Amino acid sequence: MTRGWQSGGPVFGNLDPNALSCSYDQPCPILGVTNHLSVPYVYNWNANMEQSQWRNAALTAAYVGNKGNRLYSVRDINQNVYNNDTEGDEFSGRPYITKFPYLNYIDMLENYDFLIYHSLQVTLKQQSSNGLFFVAG
Q: Is the pLDDT score of 83 beyond 90?
A: no
Give tens-digit pLDDT for 91-118: 778 888 778 888 888 888 999 999 999 9
Percent of the chain with pLDDT over 90: 31
Between the CA of residue 98 and those of 11, 15, 40, 58, 86, what are the distances in Å?
Answer: 30, 22, 34, 68, 14
CA distance 107 to 13: 20
Confidence at residue 65, expressed as pLDDT on a 0 to 100 scale: 97
Check if the beta carbon of residue 68 is closer than 8 Å to that of residue 49. Answer: no
Give tens-digit pLDDT for 2-43: 455 556 655 555 556 666 677 777 788 888 888 889 999 999
Confidence at residue 9, expressed as pLDDT on a 0 to 100 scale: 58
Kindly report the pTM of this predicted structure.
Answer: 0.59
Give tens-digit pLDDT for 49-69: 988 878 888 999 999 999 999
Confidence at residue 2, expressed as pLDDT on a 0 to 100 scale: 46
Helix, strand, coil content of the chain in percent (nearest 5) = 0, 50, 50
CA distance 10 to 26: 25
